[in-house]
Structure 1
Amino acid sequence: MTSVVDLSEVAPGVLQVTMQDRQNKNTFSPELMQGLVEAFAHIEANPGYRAVILTGYDTYFASGGTKEGLHSIQQGRSKFSDVNLYSLALDCRVPVISAMQGHGIGGGFVFGLFADFVVLSRESVYTTNFMKYGFTPGMGATYILARKLGIPLGHEMLMSARSYRGDDLAKRGVPFPVMPRADVLGYARELAVDLADKPRGALVTLKDHLVGGMRRELPAVIEQELAMHDVTFSQPEVRERIERLFGN
């Protein structure tokens, strides 16, 4: 693994994947993307794992695209689909828990929502802020937010690009545990241990059944999002917004 992604078997059959690109605050830097792809390849190759915990460091879970990455898409040199992060948790054969102890920003929040289980922090900020920069959402956001949060809240988050504290989302009735940051990882580990007590074959079979429809439907959504990017990312205003607003 790269130095920015740490793997640790925290209980028998439970692998914790910790994103810790401190220099880039867990934006999707090349190092973090490579580390995540390698981590899930390692999980796929090791039949001893029965549950996975995905988490970040300190106050950051995952912060979405880098400024350089957004400019690259805006200039037509790359697409968000060039590296498939969005479906790593969905395609993982065993259950994945997103322990979002810290902020989930843009594609970083979307990345976490593709897990089988999601745990949020009361203090942290969660946002799908794509439209803030003038381009339409990617990473499967237009699919997973409505599916996991419900259509009214999901569409509000996508269109308004507002930021929400975990406490705010709890009041809106999100169907996930929302707890103090200090308790998020402990809760996720307890859940992972419960999962890992089950036979791996049964876990894999049940997950295949539960998420099979999502796995079949997502590729068409990604194609639609890429088509929208062809329209919206090319606008001159997008480059100016990236320069002016990135990190704010």
Structure 2
Amino acid sequence: MQSDPVEYREIGPHIVQITMRDEVHKNTFTDRLIIGLSKAFARVKDHRRCKAVVLTGYGNYFASGGTKESLLQIQERRISFTDSDIYGLALDCPVPVISAMQGHGVGGGFAMGLFADFVVLSRESIYTTNFMRYGFTPGMGATLILPKKLGFGLAEEMLLSAKTYYGRELKERGVPFPVLPRAEVLPYALELAETLAEKPRVSLVTLKDHLVSELRSELPRFIEREVAMHEKTFHQPEVRDLIAAHYTGG
């Protein structure tokens, strides 16, 4: 019997830790992981005392993006990445979310983490938006959130080149997030969550609504554009060949 790939844990009365731990699939976006994340964030919305969420992974992996099977299904026009809105879970969450990216963040997994209100990276881990490695343009809201969070220059480089970066390299490039040794990422995030939990919940919800209102309004337009780009780029025979030959997941 497979264990649940997403663990929902209440850290005291006001903090929820959501941990992705699908070790078999290295936290790629399997159906079970997607469902687990959606259910966990739905529970947060119903948790009237929750003031902060910490989203993290296990070991060396934060989140590894789409599975090989799902990418091939998109290529064949059988599904779309918009069929499940996991990229917007942290953005839509009423209370602040901290992405404790203690492990590798790959493709849509990295983009999903950046939609959190706070981001903490690991020096030893790799981060990449590797969509173009397989010949198709980015999705998952990556074309919106990378420029917003990383700055246009670095975001354009990451999206076009599909290069892989260690957290320590991103720190040298001036990313505006803490970049810590892997063992310190989650403790830092939990300490930050404790600081948030000292504030009144209504004030946290009200201020987050204000701060992310533009992102929330812009995201549907960017998703529409990304889907339109996929219509041009994803269905090339070359893309199928690249996915089949070179996909490595996490």
- Whether the TM-score (by the shorter chain) exceeds 0.5 is yes
Q: What CA distance in whole angstroms lies between the structure 2 residues aligned with 1:12 and 1:101?
A: 24
Residue 241 of structure 1 is matched in structure 2 by: 242
Structure-2-length-normalised TM-score: 0.98
Matched, 1:49 2:50: yes
1:231 CA displacement: 0.8
Per-residue CA deviations over 1:194-245 (Å, capped at 9, x if unaligned) read 0011000000000000000110111000000000001101100000000111
Residue 40 of structure 1 is matched in structure 2 by: 41
Residue 158 of structure 2 is matched in structure 1 by: 157
Per-residue CA deviations over 1:105-148 (Å, capped at 9, x if unaligned) read 00000000000000000000000000000000000000000000
Q: What CA distance in whole angstroms lies between the structure 1 residues aligned with 2:12 and 2:110?
A: 26
Q: Percent identity over the alignment?
A: 61
1:10 CA displacement: 1.8
The residue type equivalent to 1:43 in the other structure is V
Residue 22 of structure 1 is matched in structure 2 by: 23
Residue 173 of structure 1 is matched in structure 2 by: 174
1:48 CA displacement: 1.2
1:12 CA displacement: 2.9
Per-residue CA deviations over 1:46-88 (Å, capped at 9, x if unaligned) read 1110000000000000000000000000000000000001110
> Are the aligned partners of 1:11 and 1:193 in contact in 2 as well (CA < 8 Å)?
no
Residue 113 of structure 2 is matched in structure 1 by: 112
Structure 1 segment 49-88 matched on structure 2, within 5 A = 49-88=50-89
Q: What CA distance in whole angstroms lies between the structure 1 residues aligned with 2:157 and 2:43?
A: 37
The residue type equivalent to 2:83 in the other structure is D
Aligned pairs, number: 247
Q: What CA distance in whole angstroms lies between the structure 2 residues aligned with 1:184 and 1:11?
A: 19
The residue type equivalent to 2:150 in the other structure is L
Residue 224 of structure 1 is matched in structure 2 by: 225
1:11 CA displacement: 3.1
Per-residue CA deviations over 1:161-204 (Å, capped at 9, x if unaligned) read 00000000000000000000000000000000000110000000
The residue type equivalent to 1:62 in the other structure is A
Name which of structure 1's ranges 39-48 and 106-115 shifts more when overlaid on structure 2: 39-48
Residue 203 of structure 2 is matched in structure 1 by: 202
Counterpart of 1:24 in 2: which secondary structure?
coil
The runs of at least 4 consecutive aligned structure 1 residues that moved more than 2 Å come to none
Residue 99 of structure 1 is matched in structure 2 by: 100
> Are the aligned partners of 1:12 and 1:196 in contact in 2 as well (CA < 8 Å)?
no
Q: What CA distance in whole angstroms lies between the structure 1 residues aligned with 2:241 and 2:118?
A: 37
Q: What CA distance in whole angstroms lies between the structure 2 residues aligned with 1:24 and 1:48?
A: 33
Q: What CA distance in whole angstroms lies between the structure 2 residues aligned with 1:210 and 1:235?
A: 39
Could you tell me which runs of 5 or more consecutive residues in structure 2 were left unpaired when the two chains were aligned.
none
Counterpart of 1:54 in 2: which secondary structure?
strand
Structure-1-length-normalised TM-score: 0.98
Counterpart of 1:23 in 2: which secondary structure?
coil
Could you tell me which runs of 5 or more consecutive residues in structure 1 were left unpaired when the two chains were aligned.
none
